[in-house]
Amino acid sequence: MELLRFDPSGAINADYGVSEAELGELHPRLAEIRDDVVELDPEQYVSGNIPLDKQPLDARFSWLPSEILRQYREDPQGSELARIFKVANGLHDRVDAVAVLGIGGSYMGARALMDALCHPYHNELSRGSRGSKPRMYFEGNNVDNDASRALLERLAAGGYGDDPAEQRWAICVISKSGGTMETAVAFRQYLAALESELGGAAAELLPQLVVPVTGESGKLHDLATAIGCEEIFSVPDGVGGRFSVLSAVGLLPAAMLGVDCVQLLEGAIAMNEHFASAAPEENVVLQYVAVNHLLEKNRGATIRVLSTWSKSLESIGLWYDQLLAESLGKEGLGATPLTTVNTRDLHSRHQQHQQGRSDKVFNNLITRDYRSDPLAVGKSERNQDTLNDIADKSLPDIMSAAIQGTNDALHEDQRPTTNLVLPSINPHTIGQLLQMLMLATVVEGRLLGINPYGQPGVEQYKKNMNKNLGRS
C-alpha cells in the first residue's frame, strides 16, 4: 500500500524557514541516530546492557508490531492477537456498550483509533447499523464527578432496542500498575455499578465482562485475579504508556469496534521498513524531525501546531500532544504541541497564529481521499446566499481551497508550514502515521540529547495528590 508523504516545501525558505544546506548538514547525524534506534536499541534492550543515559529504554514499541503479527501467524489460536479477537468477537453478542477506563497513554491511543476509523456518530447508530459492535465510552481519565456520574447513568439506560444484549455493558480497564488514582477510583465505581446491575448473574458474568490490560503483577492484576477475569491482557514490558497504542492497550478496544488490527500493524511495519532503509533526504521520519528541529533551533518555533484537516484526526492530534509533551518536555527543552482542527479553528485561533508571535510551525495533517462520496454544494432557487456560482463544487473542493489558501496566507506573513499527507484514512495509513510519530519523537529526543522515555514530572503530581489525600 501507498505510504504517507511529508512535504516540507512550505518551510524551505531563506527568510523564515530552513535551507536545503541546513537540512543536508543534519542528515549524517540523523542517519547515526536512526541506526542507533534500529540496530543498537533492540540489542541493548534484549541483552539488558543499557547505558545509564538510556535508562529507561522503553524501545520495544518499535519492533512490537512485527512481533505481534509474527506470533499471530505462527499461532492463530493461542497468540495474544488471537485472544484479543476472541474476546472482542465474543463481547459483540453479549453487550451493547463498553466503558474503557484508563488515563494518558492507556486510553488516548484507543480513543484516537475509534475517532479516526469508526463512523463519526458510531455511538448513536443502531445496533444493526454498528454490526453489533459495542458503543464505546472513555472514563477513568479524570475525576470529574458530573461526567462520570452521567456516563454511569447512560450505561445503565442500555441501548436502543429490546435485545437482551442491549441492556448490558462491559468494562475494559487499562493500567499497567493499577495504582493510578483516576483509573483506580473509576474502576472501583464502575465495577460496583456493573456488579449491581448484573444482580444474581454477577458471579457468572462479571469475569467475562471485565477485561483488564495490565502488568504481569500489581494492584490491577491482583484485583482482576480476585474477580476471576477469564482473560487478562498485558501491557508489554519495555513499552511506555504513550508508546503503547499498537499493543493490547490500543488493539483490544480497536478490535471490539471491528477495526482491522492486522492492517494497523502492517501499516506500522511498513513505516518501520521505510524508516530503516530510506535515505535521510527521502525518509519521512527523518525529514519531519529535521525540519521541525531546525525551525525550533534556528527560528524560535517553539510551538508546534498540528493542523488536522479532518475532524476524525483530532484525537490523533491529542494523542500526539501527549506523546511529544511527555517525551521531550524535559530539562528545559521540548516544543509545545498544539492540535487544531480546520477549518473550524481558523475562526478561533488563526488570527493569532498568522499575525501574533512568530514562534510556531504549522504541520498540516491532510487526507487526500475521503471515505464517503463528495457532498456537492448544490444548486438552489434560493440563491440569497449567492452560492450558485460554486454549485458544482464539493466539500472536498472547498477543503482543498482552504488548505492552500491558509498555507498561502501563512507564507505571506512568513510563517512556515509543512504537509503530512495521508493517501486516505484507513487502518493501514493510521498504523503508518502512529508509528511514524512515535519514531520521530524518539529520534528528536536523541537529537536534543534527552531520554524520550520516562516521565519524572508526572510522577511528582501523583505523589503530591496522594499526600493531599492523607496517604503516604
Task: Please confirm whether the linkage preceding 336 is cis (ω < 30° from 0).
Answer: no
326 carries an active-site annotation: yes
Catalytic residue among 43, 74, 347, 381: 347
Residues 6+ apart with CB under 8 A from 410: 10, 353, 354, 362, 416, 417
Contact by Cβ (8 Å): 91, 291:
no
Residues 6+ apart with CB under 8 A from 73: none
Contact by Cβ (8 Å): 251, 244:
no
Q: What are φ and ψ of residue 390, in 5° steps?
A: -120, 30
d(C-alpha 291, C-alpha 128), whole Å: 47
Please report, as a single letter, which amino acid is at residue 456. P
Catalytic residue among 311, 379, 462, 463: 462
Rg, the chain, Cα only: 23
Catalytic residue among 326, 330, 428, 444: 326
Beta strand spans in 368-438 (E)? 417-422
287-326 in b/e form (b: 16+ CB < 10 A) is bbbbbbbbbbeebebbbbbbbbbbebbbbbbbbbbbbbbb
24-53 in b/e form (b: 16+ CB < 10 A) is eebbeebeebbeebbeebbebbeeeeeeee
Residues 6+ apart with CB under 8 A from 278: 284, 286
d(C-alpha 171, C-alpha 206), whole Å: 9
274 carries an active-site annotation: no
Residue appearing with cell numbers 511529544: 324
412 carries an active-site annotation: no
DSSP string, 11-71: GB-TTTSB-HHHHHHHHHHHHHHHHIIIIIHHHHHHH----GGG-S--BGGGTHHHHHHHH
Dihedral sign computed on CA atoms, order 28, 29, 34, 40: positive
Closest CA to 413 of 10, 23, 21: 10
d(C-alpha 213, C-alpha 231), whole Å: 9
d(C-alpha 416, C-alpha 404), whole Å: 13
Return the active site residues.
Answer: 326, 347, 462
